[in-house]
Each structure stands twice: as structure tokens, then as C-alpha cells.
Amino acid sequence: MTQLLDGGLSTELERIGARFDGTLWTGRTLLDDPALIEQAHRNFVEAGADIIITSSYQLSRQGFTAIGLSEDDADAALRCSVEIARRATANSNTRVAASIGPYGAILHDGSEYRGDYGVNREALYRFHAERIAILNEAAPDLLLAETIPDFVETQALARALGEVDRPIGFSFNSSDGTTLCSGASLVEAIETIQGIPHLEFIGFNCVAPEIVSDLVTAARAISSTPIAIYPNKGGLWDPHTGNWSDQGTRPLEDWWREWSMLGIEYIGGCCGTDAETISTLRHHLDSGDSKNSSSI
């Protein structure tokens, strides 16, 4: 049975009134208005998500000290991200996935979509290992490395995640459906993470809906690990205006007929998708529309 991931946390936060200013993005909201984070998570739970993803994507000691906060502040925020998600899922069967974003997420220069950090594998391992240790202590249901754009970072994360005893999700980013964003081999990256103990799924997120089928087909050819996809809403993102162009795009749920034929085990949304999107996906999953309805 297909499990439903949540949607874009920042998108849902904006929908319910959050405004982002500064480098921490949703992490800033976590510090300034944790109740709003909890509400956004709860909206996804009520929309029918089986798994919600914490607000820890951009949280790190390095990122906090760069803006005058302390390493202890960073560790506390990482723990808090899991605790708030736990509160939002109380009295439900929804699981909590602790988000581990790429190194580029703290650089704020777009390199998380290129993977060209200029940082070696050992430094990347240390960066991720310290965050993973804190998040793991907070006891989420699973740890989720997401939006990973490069092979070297994949290697570093595989090592760090291999040192913890908890279910793992690992989600890559690609712009062309055949390689990672850095241009590195998708096949080699998938092969690298196969040895991670407790690997629950391989995923692709923050990708265009148009390339999902290509990515899933590539993964299926070399791995029997369950597949998760949570793409962007579609359209073009303008980094200067901070807006999406929807012209000529299909709603995310309209892609589900095509994707369901691939036997995808987990589906959700990323940037541009909110609790309403997830509620619509929940309806299609529960009603079996992917197989027998003309509505999609």
C-alpha cells in the first residue's frame, strides 16, 4: 500500500501566515514561532499524511554560528524540530522523519542544486555526522537525507547514516532525470547507499514532475528498495521574485495515474505543495482513482 508523505513545509507555513526573512528559512520560524510549525505539521497530519518531515532541513551548528547564535542553540533547535513534530502527530499513526538537508542548504548560494561546494568528503562526513547524532538522540521514527545533489556528499552521508540504528530514507535531487544535479552518476549514487543498514526507501525530491518516471525507472533497474517521490508542484521557480510560474503545468495529483503504474511505494510533495495538495492525493489514494477514475 502506498504511503503518503507530507508536502512542502515552507509552502504550508506561508499559506498559514509565515514570512521568511534571513538564512534559516523554516528554521527561523522554528525559533520565533514554534506553534506555527506545529500547526503546519498538524495540517499535514489532518490531510492524511502517513509521514511528516521535520523543520531541521537547514539547521546546523555552522549555520547558527554564522548568524551569531551558538552551537548549543543549533543542537537545541534540532531536538526541538523532532519534539514539535511529535506533538503534531499525537493521537495519530503518522510517523516523524527527521530532515537532513544537504551541505549547500546552509550556504544560501544555490549550490544545493549544483553540489559544487568545494568541500571534501571528510568535511562533509563531519558536518552531517554531528547533526545526525543529535537528531537520532531525539528519536524520530526515521532519518531522512533529502535533496542530495552530488556523489561525494552521498558517500559522506552513507557513512554517517550507517553508524546509527534507525530506519533511513535517502532522497536525491536531479534536474535531468538521469544524473544527480552535479552531473554525477545516479546509478553509482544509488549503489553507494544500498549498504546502509535499515534503508527503508530511496527517494527523489525537489524535482520536476516531468522527470519522475525517468528517475523511478532508473532506480528500479538497479535496486529493489522501495521508492519515494515527492516532487515540486511543477512550473518554473524564479529565484529573484521568489515565485512559481504555473503556466501550462498540470496539478501534481494529475501525474498519479502515470506514476502509480510504476508501483511507487511513497508519494508526497515538495516546494509549492501544501496541505490541500496532500489532502487531494490522500483522496486519490484512498478512492483508487489512479486505476479506475477518469478524474485524473
pLDDT at 254: 83
Mean pLDDT value across the chain: 91
| One CATH from 3.40.50.150, 3.90.25.10, 3.20.20.330, 3.30.1360.200 for 3-292 | 3.20.20.330
Mean pLDDT of the 54-74 span: 94
Under 8 Å between Cβ of 34 and 80: yes
What are 160-215's pLDDT values in tens digits?
999 999 999 999 999 999 999 999 999 999 999 999 999 999 999 999 999 999 99
| pTM passes above 0.85 | yes
What are 85-140's pLDDT values in tens digits?
999 999 999 999 999 999 999 887 888 888 888 899 999 999 999 999 999 999 99
pLDDT at 242: 58
Q: Where are the domains of the chain?
A: 3-292
What are 232-264's pLDDT values in tens digits?
987 666 655 656 666 557 878 788 878 888 999
